[in-house]
Chain A
Amino acid sequence: MDSNNLFYILLALALFGAPLAAALNNRPKISAAVAFGASAMASLVGLIIGADVLLNGPMRLDFPFSSPFGTFAFAVDGLSALFIIIISLVTFAVSIYSLGYVRHYYGKYPVGLMGSLFNIFYVSMIMVVSSSNAILFLIMWETMSLSSYFLVIFESREKGTVASGLFYLIMTHIGTAAITIGFILMYSESGSFEFSSFHGAALGMSDLLRSSVFALWLVGFGTKAGIIPFHTWLPMAHPAAPSNISSLMSAVMVKTAIYMLIRCYFGFLGVQDAWWGVIVLAVACVSALLGVMYALIESDIKRMLAFSTVENIGIILMALGVAMIFQSYGLKELAALALIAALMHVLSHALFKSLLFMGAGSVLYAAHTRNMEKLGGLAKRMPYTSLMFFIGVLSIAAIPPLTGFVSEWLIFQSMLQSFNIPDAIVKILIPVALGTLAITGALAAAAFLKAYGITFLARPRSEEAERAEEVPRTMLVGMGILSALCILAGVLSFMILPVMDDVTSPLVGVSIGEHLISGFLIVPTVGEFSQMSPLLIGVLLTSVFVGVLAITHLYGGRRKVVRADTWDCGTPLTSRTEYSGRGFSNPINRMFSWVYHPLRVFRSTSHISPYVKSDMRYTSTIEPVFERYFYEPMEVGVRWLARKVSVIQTGSIQTYLGYIFVVLILLLVVLR
């Protein structure tokens, strides 16, 4: 069966699943089964389509009717196929997870509605990455945004949900406007809205025009991807959304923006100017660094994950920027390498971020709070969840040989190659980016160490955490799939990278597949520069571990292990004596206070004598810089202007007639 029919089947599954689920809304159990069953099946079909395209070449599905904007069609080439696979993988796992997760919505919120929106959301993402016409793309893009918006405000009765949803909607709309203008500028050059006509159209453009298209797309797609300073909607929307949705949004939806950036820059514009790459690199560095720094001090686990998404998008864009720089200097092999690294990190981030969000969801499901400071000790109460979350943490902290490690290693390698760049300035800029990437990685490790340590280890810090118990099996299965993939995608990356090479070679114009992989080894560049094999590292680590275990047990004989209280300096062990999350991140907070603008308040009341404190309170908050200095002033300004203008509606008919009178006289005089 060829992939066109498969595509029909996919659409059919999701688009019949959606209304059916909505119809069954007041039978939550059944409608949940229907909805997520449909999406799971649809995503399986999506996987097949992707694989089929990667093996047997592209597919195209024309619309039965023509539109004023030219022909509409769904066309899937290598790049689209790769993203379809990523989207479908995650969606499949999340659908299974959702079966269990939505249980705590029964009777509270319309589960059927969520299910149908979920399907629409999935299909719209698939269509976004397979649209072949700018307008069709825009329609699908906004459908994706809208469906995700409705999913974000699903828990509409929670405080602040609707507001953050609205902010998300507005931000994404602004982004879409920028994208649209970019497309129309391309149209005015190529004379058609079809993507196929955009290829090489930029060659005829003036430098100014081409660069403004570049900038418009960077802003537009960047808003969706969450680059700083357009990132503010992420930490608002992701926590507000139900966890299964936030995992989809954060792991996959933002990637569609990356997809378009790659397609637009490498496909349509054809990277000519080196400074484009430099700009992308700079933006990426800022996003990565600030993103991880905000993530580190955040104690709302889902907000923290959202900020970490900003960081990872930054890392992906770093690789993309490096690729663009190489491409602009005609170093095609290296460009291919960097692009492959970017795609690899897209894959890894999709896997572990959705896993982590699902883990956070499970914690929420079991302990009813997102606040780390109220959690703790879950490792014993929900062992499987904690194990899977831990795998996610390991791979996002780039612990070898997991998937996060492989992609970061590749990015480092592509940066190390920067000495091939002829231009000295750019050559010196890239080591700075490398340093940024290094510190980002280390801070990310710290952040997730905190997240795992405070949430799952030691003693619970609240009643809910005390009473928490393991989540339903379906949720565990959903997470299990992804945690397995996190390991496999790392260890078996030597099988994945050639696929990435097939995807990138048409974009960059050269294939490095034949020397990228030799046996189990990944050889990023020609010659002896460096090589690495996650699989062998994995083997080595396990065997050495076994060895160490054995030797330790043999040497010194069998010794018994006593369980006892933690040493407590004589004070009773309560949750208050544990190290708090804020305490953990405090050193960073203080050392980088010029970034955080922290506001600390220490209040202590003492009634007997100044030495006996009856009550002590310490609050430490950081200033929301971007909201305060970027968004709020803008809104205030617009409102002020609007108020000034709206005095013209005085209510007195004489004034109204006066306007007409004046306009008449002005026009008569001016146009005489």
Chain B
Amino acid sequence: MIITLLLLPVAVALVCLLLNRYTKLVETASVLGAGLLLLLGSVLVLHVFEEGIIDEGMWYLDQLGAFMLLIIVLIGFLAILYSVPYMRHEHESGEVSSNMLGLYYTFLFLFIFTMVLVVVSNNLGIVWIAVEGTTLVSAFLVGFYNKGTSLEAAWKYLIICSIGISLALLGTIFVYASSIDVLGENSDLHWTSLMAVAGQLDPAFLKIGFVLVLIGYGTKVGLAPMHTWLPDAHSQAPSPVSALLSGVLLNCAMYAVLRYHILMTHSSIGGAFSSGLLLLFGLLSLGIAAAFIITQKDYKRLLAYSSIEHMGIIAIGFGFGGFWGIFGALLHMFNHSMTKALLFFGAGNVLQKYKTKSIDGVRGLSRTMPVTSILLLMGALAITGSPPFSVFTSEIMVLTGGIDQGNILPALLYAGMIVIIFAAFMGHVVRMIFGDPPEGMEKGEVNKAGLIPMIALVVIILVMGIFIPDGLSDALRDIVALFGGQV
């Protein structure tokens, strides 16, 4: 079952590679593939949510993994759906050649493959390999437009994430070392087997191991101050890729950290250590993101920094712990992915219309492209945590977690930061949407087909704002239990 899930994207990637002469075929193939992937993925997810964990030794899918898988396949599908009109427009405007188009889809699917690999593999070593793989593959997508800036972004992305990832490897080795005494020579790095003996793991190795893992994968998550690659990469990549990067990739990296966090909470060290570190990095990220959001001049970078902010919020949520903290953080992973994807799609439309990424260059969206502007405004309100959109719910949960667990001061800091970010972010977006459009800018949407996935996303975040399906919330409760939080 899981094998097919893994093979499918690879197969599609190969098809795209082979057919890259025939753009139409490539597009249909990738849309079909993505649809199939969504189908298969959701079947698996449902199975896990209903029947429970799938354990095939090498491959392992519990509620946490399934939750991640859900995000991956959903955003993956929508991103492909959006890519078709978007990249075609790029192709027509001569940005990319036709066989580059083929390569684009190839790498997109490889990217998805690596991310799926992250969440379905039981072996922490494989998880590491997969995460490294995501870097290597997505580097191509980041540097896709052979321009100077995009190459620079890709280079920084590659180097910084590789160094981070090798620290993560060191951490993995230490965690492995901590298990040697218990499991002996034949100890495989399987998370399940580690969990089984979590109590007896050697604390000294585990501790330093977690620190290294946190810094290592944290670099990929985009926790400050290891976040530096993120704004460059996200702003230079093609918009659908940016959506995947900040909507899904960051979550996958966070997922890797969480596995170790869970290990820590069950180990003799106890959760306080890792939670404390998560809280620290979370607050730091939130603060730094706030600063950059205030002074931002480029709207794609604005979105990138907002991703840093939200990764910070998620980290804070897990740092707070308790039912509300963890539940909220998990929910926030989902909500943030959906909302951020929506925003990046919107930004893509704006970019193709106005041909500039500078906030000051964009004025009067409400008159030039009304639908996009409304969707964008909704997205902006949602991402900054206004009801009735779903991000609000999860942010409130995290805040509740903080106050409920007695972390009053961090909770207040968190709330204050969120308000400041709201003000700054809305300030930028409102300036873009209203005012007089630059002369010679005629009315009309550039990317009508691209509006469909955006509307779908708006519906999702609106519904999730009021109503969380029971199946999902039950699964989330199971995950909270996995973290040892009382339900």
Contact = CB atoms under 8 A, between A and B. Distances in A.
A and B form one complex: yes
Interface of A: 65-68, 72, 135, 138-143, 146, 153, 156, 162, 165-166, 169-170, 173-174, 177, 180-181, 184-185, 187-188, 638-639, 641-643, 645-646, 648-649, 653, 655-657, 659-660, 663-664, 667-668, 671
Interface in B200-259: 207-208, 211-212, 215, 219, 225-226, 228-229, 231
Given A166-B427, A181-B403, A146 B386 contact: yes
Contacts of A664: 167, 212, 215
Given A177-B415, A177-B418, A645 B211 contact: no
B160 interface: yes
A443 B41 CA distance: 70
Contacts of A667: 211, 215, 277
B268 interface: no
Complex A-B, nearest 8 residue pairs according to Cβ-Cβ distance, in ascending order:
A645-B291, A656-B228, A642-B294, A139-B387, A642-B291, A142-B387, A659-B225, A170-B423
B420 interface: yes
Identify which of A68, A135, A180, A639 gathers the most chain B CB atoms within 10 Å of its CB: A68
B468 A67 contact: yes
Given A142-B386, A184-B399, A667-B211, A67 B228 contact: no
Q: Main secondary structure on chain B at its contact with chain A?
A: helix
B483 interface: no
Interface string B173-211: 000000000000000000000000000000000011001
Given A68-B473, A166-B427, A648-B225, A138 B387 contact: yes
A668 B211 contact: yes
A146 B155 CA distance: 42
Contact of B156 (A65, A162, A169, A656): A656
Contacts of B423: 170, 173
Given A166-B427, A664-B167, A664-B215, 5 more contacts: A140-B387, A166-B430, A641-B291, A648-B225, A660-B167
Contacts of B396: 135, 138, 180, 184
A640 to B, nearest CB: 10
B464 to A, nearest CB: 11
B310 to A, nearest CB: 17
Contacts of B287: 645
A142 B395 CA distance: 14
B420 A660 contact: no
B327 interface: yes
Contacts of B422: 170, 173
Contacts of A663: 215, 225-226
Contacts of B211: 667-668, 671
B279 interface: no
B460 interface: no
A153 B465 CA distance: 25
A185 B426 contact: no
Given A138-B387, A656-B229, A663-B215, A162 B430 contact: yes
A65 B467 contact: yes
A649 B292 contact: yes
Given A184-B400, A187-B404, A660 B231 contact: no
Interface in B266-301: 277, 287-288, 290-292, 294-295
Interface in B375-420: 381, 386-388, 392-393, 396-397, 399-400, 403-404, 411-412, 415-416, 418-420
B321 interface: no
Contacts of B208: 668, 671
A139 B426 contact: no
Nearest to B211: A667
Contacts of B415: 177, 180-181
B349 interface: no
Nearest to A150: B377
Contact of A187 (B159, B212, B215, B400): B400
Interface size class of B (residues with CB under 8 A): 35 or more
B294 A657 contact: no
B156 A653 contact: yes
A638 B160 CA distance: 30
22 contacts: A139-B392, A142-B387, A142-B388, A143-B388, A153-B434, A156-B366, A162-B430, A162-B435, A169-B426, A177-B415, A177-B418, A184-B396, A184-B400, A184-B403, A184-B404, A188-B400, A639-B295, A645-B288, A653-B155, A659-B225, A660-B164, A671-B207
A142 B229 CA distance: 35
A173 B225 contact: no
B163 interface: yes
Given A657-B159, A659-B228, A660-B163, A139 B388 contact: yes
Nearest to A178: B415
Contacts of A659: 225-226, 228
B403 A642 contact: no
A184 B386 CA distance: 17
B466 interface: yes
A207 B110 CA distance: 59
A68 B327 contact: yes
B160 A656 contact: yes
A663 B160 CA distance: 14
Interface string B311-355: 000000000000000010000000000000000000000000000
A648 B386 contact: no
Contacts of B292: 642, 645-646, 649
Nearest to B228: A656
A180 B399 contact: yes
Contacts of B294: 638-639, 642
Nearest to A146: B386
A148 to B, nearest CB: 13
Contacts of B164: 660
A660 B225 CA distance: 7
Given A139-B392, A166-B427, A156 B290 contact: no
A180 B277 CA distance: 27
Nearest to B219: A660
B402 to A, nearest CB: 9
Given A67-B468, A170-B423, A639-B294, A657 B163 contact: yes
Contact of B403 (A72, A185, A645, A646): A185
A660 B430 contact: no
A333 B5 CA distance: 72
Interface in B141-181: 155-156, 159-160, 163-164, 167
A140 B381 CA distance: 15
Contacts of B419: 173-174, 177
A290 to B, nearest CB: 25
Contacts of A660: 160, 163-164, 167, 215, 219, 225-226
B160 A657 contact: yes
A68 B387 contact: no
Contacts of A156: 366, 434
Nearest to A142: B387
A524 B363 CA distance: 59
A670 B423 CA distance: 36
B403 A188 contact: yes
Contacts of A162: 430, 434-435
Contacts of A671: 207-208, 211
Contacts of A143: 387-388
Nearest to B164: A660
A166 B159 CA distance: 41
